[in-house]
Amino acid sequence: MRWLTRVPCLLADLVLPGGCCACGAWLTTAEGPWCTECALAMGRASQQFYCPRCGLTTDEPAGAADGCPRCVEHRIAFDGFCRVGEYDGLLRQLICKFKFGRCQQLDRPLGRFLAVAVGTRSWACEVEAIVPVPLSWRSRLAYRFSPPRALAQELGRELKLPVLPLLYEKGKRRRQVGLTADERRQNVHGVFRLARGARPAGGIFCMVDDVSTTGATLQEVARVLKQAGATRVYAAVLAKTNPERAHALQA
């Protein structure tokens, strides 16, 4: 039923070529790419507090680098987390349109939001290169492009940093959707390999993905990069799933 999600995107582009890239409303100024309402909604989405270690939403600013009560006991392979917002509302709608609706042109506005979010992190200035989370050829075929790679390119352009596809996905794995946290960890374990000629030793990287649910994929990418000698690895995603909300939706 993926074509169904593509129809509104195509219609919006066809009927309203200069419209808001989120809702398709006609833009009265050339500033774009958002109408005022969507810009405000995205602004609100990006203002939630979150844990700088695991990315989960918190009630107050969680300044401590050692994390929130939900992650303090867990080992995390990456050194810091950055997100635009929670996987909900308009942000979720846009990500679905970007990925499943194959609206690749959303890479620029979404990439800009990601760049602003990364710019607020204390570690942003030490990142030397952007690394997209690898995607299997099956997923690339389904989306017709690689959403993490498209976002990484935009982030690299905004931050004036090189984009290095240091890893690729080797071997089969199931889709992560519908798996428990343990199953997700097992599912991604060992599936990423260093690309030919990749030399991450001594480097400081920022991995990019569109959505993080349990963080299993990011953990695995960071683990492989660190095993290959990377000094520090940070994670940047558009959205982080709220496990409580995901539970409520499933219930």
d(CA 165, CA 155) in angstroms, rounded, equals 14
- Per-residue mark of binding to Zn ion, 70-89 (x: CB under 5 A): -x------------------
What size, in residues, is the chain? 251
> What is the bridge-based pairing of β-strands 192-194 and 204-212?
unpaired
Least distance (Å) between residue 15 CB and Zn ion: 14
Q: Is residue 235 part of the contact set for Zn ion (CB under 5 A)? A: no
Contacts (Cβ under 8 Å, ≥6 apart) of 45: 84, 85, 86, 88, 89, 90, 91
* Closer of 39 and 129 to Zn ion (Cβ): 39
Least distance (Å) between residue 2 CB and Zn ion: 23
- Phi/psi at 49 (5° precision): -80, 145
Report the interhelical angle of 36-45 vs 89-99 (nearest 10°).
100
- Asked whether 27 and 35 are in contact (CB, 8 A), the reply is yes
Q: How many residues bind Zn ion (CB under 5 A)?
A: 12
* Closer of 67 and 203 to Zn ion (Cβ): 67
- Per-residue mark of binding to Zn ion, 100-129 (x: CB under 5 A): ------------------------------
* Closer of 110 and 163 to Zn ion (Cβ): 110
* Closer of 20 and 221 to Zn ion (Cβ): 20
Q: Which of residues 14-73 bind Zn ion (CB under 5 A)?
A: 20, 22-23, 25, 35, 38, 51, 53-54, 67-68, 71
* Closer of 112 and 140 to Zn ion (Cβ): 112
Q: Which of residues 185-224 bind Zn ion (CB under 5 A)?
A: none
* Closer of 67 and 200 to Zn ion (Cβ): 67
Complete DSSP assignment for 26-70: BPSSSS-SS-HHHHHHHHHHTTS-B-TTT--B-SS----TT--TT
- Asked whether 225 and 199 are in contact (CB, 8 A), the reply is no
Binding region for Zn ion (CB under 5 A): 20, 22-23, 25, 35, 38, 51, 53-54, 67-68, 71
